Amino acid sequence: MAGTGELPQEKAGLMGWVALGLVALLAVVLLWWLGVARPLWSFVGAGLMLGATGYAIQGKPGLPGHPVTAFTRPIALDDGMVKLRDDMFGRFSGENQYIVASDAMIRSGDPKAAVQVLLIGIRRVPNSIALWTDLGLAFQTHDRGVVSPASKLAFEQAMRINPDHPAPPFFYGLALIQAEDFAGASRYWHRALALTPQKVGYRAIIAERVALLDRYLAETRER
């Protein structure tokens, strides 16, 4: 009714679709401005389509609005793995500022912001294997432990940029371990060990983890 301050259902629904279209347009412009690789656009598009589908099925634009409060839970990072990552990539590189910021976002419980920070860094340093590797880990955290297509793409890009560096396959393997794909992790950890020079300090850490994983796989095969 007029005078109640509420929009008719049809008009509210139309405005909702217009707003959704503006969000999609803004996303495309932002991706172009950040210089995000085209293969990643499909993941954003999939998210928008999922949102549009949910809106079409469950959306009720005629309902009055109400304030909501964001809820995030802190996420613990393995300090040993953080140190190993720093030893493998170095702590004083130009892209390290983005990795430190991403770690802070993860710890605060906002993996989406961590992904965004790393994408900004990649736009500025597109051939950084450290940023691409960390992006793979951030996507996995964002996707609740699943090695999603976006996470897989990021790790693979790091390995394409520098196929001789042990860090990308090692951390890809770590992500697979967390996703409980132990056989897949073994392949990448063995590759990482083979690529690690004999004299570097962190080789013993990688070798120990490879041995533990091999032992676990052997025991599970015997059962």
* CATH class belonging to 79-222: mainly alpha
Identify which has the larger pLDDT, 161 or 77. 161
Please list, in sequence order, all residues whose beta carbon lies within 8 angstroms of the beta carbon of residue 161, skipping any fewer than 6 positions away: 127, 128, 129, 132
Whether residue 190 is predicted with pLDDT greater than 80 in this model: the reply is yes
Taking a C-beta distance cutoff of 8 angstroms, is the pair 178, 140 a contact? yes
pLDDT (tens digit per residue) in 15-43? 555 666 666 666 665 656 655 555 555 55
3-state secondary structure 26-80: HHHHHHHHHCCCHHHHHHHHHHHHHHHHHHHHHCCCCCCCCCCCCCCCCCCCCHH
Q: How far is CA 36 from CA 13, 24, 27, 58, 166, in A?
A: 32, 15, 11, 31, 25
pLDDT (tens digit per residue) in 87-134? 998 876 678 889 999 999 998 889 999 999 999 999 999 999 999 999
| pLDDT value at residue 78 | 77
| pLDDT value at residue 160 | 97
Ranking 53-62, 84-93, 198-207 by mean pLDDT, the lowest is 53-62
Taking a C-beta distance cutoff of 8 angstroms, is the pair 151, 131 a contact? no
Q: Residue type at 104? A: A
Query: pTM of the full predicted structure?
Result: 0.67
Mean pLDDT of 152-169: 96
| pLDDT value at residue 20 | 60
The percent of residues in the chain predicted with pLDDT above 90, rounded, is 52
- Within 13 Å, how many C-alpha atoms sit on residue 178's CB side? 22
Between CA 75 and CA 173 the distance in angstroms is 20
Q: What is the dihedral of CA 81, 82, 84, 88, to 10 degrees?
A: 130
Tell me the domain boundaries of the chain.
Answer: 9-58, 79-222
- Where residue 82 falls among pLDDT bands split at 50, 70, 90? confident
Q: How far is CA 195 from CA 162, 168, 169, 184, 201, in A?
A: 11, 11, 9, 17, 14
Identify which has the larger pLDDT, 92 or 177. 177
* 3-state SS, residue 182: helix
Identify which has the larger pLDDT, 4 or 103. 103
Taking a C-beta distance cutoff of 8 angstroms, is the pair 90, 105 a contact? no
DSSP 95: T
Whether residue 57 is predicted with pLDDT greater than 90 in this model: the reply is no
| pLDDT value at residue 28 | 61
| pLDDT value at residue 185 | 95
